Amino acid sequence: MILQHIADGILSGAIVSLGAIGLSFTMKLLRFANFSHSELLTWGAYGALVFLAFFASFGGFFDRTIGPFSFGVALLLAMICASVVTSIIALVLHRFVFERLSRTAGHMTMVFASFGVALVLRHLVVLIWGSDPIYYSNALQFAILLPGNVRVMPDQVFLLGLTIIVVIALHLFMTRSRTGIAMRGVAENPDLARVSGVNVDRIITWVWIIGASGAAMGGVLYGMTVQLRPELGFSLILPLFAAAILGGAGSLYGAVLGGLIVGLSENLSVMIIPTTYKPAVPFLLILAILYFRPDGIFGERSR
């Protein structure tokens, strides 16, 4: 039983990790807690639904599933398109809301503005797609039996594999590319980076693109393994913040580790407490992190 909970925790933690990466970067580089980030997962998931219907309309090759999975090439292409659209939405929000407020308003005003943006995005989803749950596919899947009597679905194996690929790609981007290195410099000291010739505005644009793309993929993977609903992002907001704070703002590896810890904590907690109290676990983690190590595992201690 415990092995099954651990497997479920790793899988749910993978989704949280993808969303927490962008939130962690935003908190570090833009210096405010963006509560609307979780809604980008929702828009990414529903955006993929639109593109999935578009590609599926061609039939033939696009209607076929891949091996044991419940999806085919159409959903993979839809995920890429949804990442692009979600990035555009994030850049529009940055250009017309957050960038303008950052010039005149304080951090608390930015936080409250992100609350308002989150509500607008969530209710737009309800207005466009309705409030009923939606599924990408109704294809029947058979669980894969792993050692220890652990059962996972093929889609969940894909979820974990894709998360690993994305993290490795981001690691190479952050350590090998000039943009990634500049991003790390801006995160440490934006004023010094600007004096050194770094285009800070361009780096911030990349932060929004990376964060929104990760959120979109996380939303699609959530919809693939669970279901689509307008409250998708809202239900993940505490796990996302817990993962970002636990790992340390601005840390790629911290966000991934934080997401896995949050996922494992949530799923292992049901062995001790009723399932209805499971959503409270990330909140308790946030309180514990802020009390014992407010800078996170990979964050530098403030002096």
The angle at the Cα of 246, spanning 245 to 248, to the nearest 5 degrees, equals 60
273 within some domain: no
Where is 141: in which H helix or E strand?
none
Mean pLDDT score of the chain: 90
In 120-174, DSSP assigns E strands to 144-146, 150-152
Domain assignment present for residue 23? The answer is no
Q: What is the per-residue pLDDT across 41-66, written as a single tens digit (0 to 9) for each?
A: 999 999 999 999 999 888 888 888 88
Structure tokens at 138: 């109704």
Per residue in 263-290, pLDDT (tens digit) is 999 999 988 888 888 888 988 888 888 8
For residue 220, pLDDT over 90 is answered with yes
Structure token digits, residue 36: 């609307």
Structural domain contains residue 292? no
Rounded to whole angstroms, how far apart are CA atoms 50 and 70? 17
The rounded percent of the chain whose pLDDT value lies above 70 is 98
Determine, yes or no, domain membership for 26.
no
| Spatial distance between the Cα atoms of 75 and 97, rounded to a whole number of angstroms | 31
Give 300's DSSP letter: P
Cβ–Cβ < 8 Å for 203, 184: no
- In the predicted model, is pLDDT for residue 228 greater than 80? yes
Q: How confident is the model at residue 300 (pLDDT cuts 50, 70, 90)?
A: low
C-alpha span between 223 and 192 (Å, rounded) = 42
Rounded Cα distance between 44 and 79, Å, is 8
Strands (E), 120-177: 144-146, 150-152
What pLDDT does 301 receive?
56
Note whether 208 and 87 are within 8 A (CB). Answer: yes
Q: Say how many domains are in the chain.
A: 1
Residue 71 included in any domain: yes
Distance CA 178, CA 183 (A): 8
What tokens were used for 200? 């800070």
pTM of the model: 0.92
pLDDT at 303: 45
132-160 tens-digit pLDDT: 999 998 877 888 888 888 999 999 999 99
In a domain, 9, yes or no: no
**Residue 54's CB: how many other CB atoms inside 10 A?**
14
Q: Could you read off the pLDDT of 75-133 as tens digits, one per residue?
A: 999 999 999 999 999 999 999 999 888 888 778 889 999 999 999 999 999 999 999 99
- Residue 131 sits in which domain range? 36-242
Report yes or no on 41 lying in a domain. yes
271 inside domain: no
d(CA 105, CA 183): 24
Among 26, 195, 213, 220, which residue's Cα sits nearest to residue 110? Answer: 26
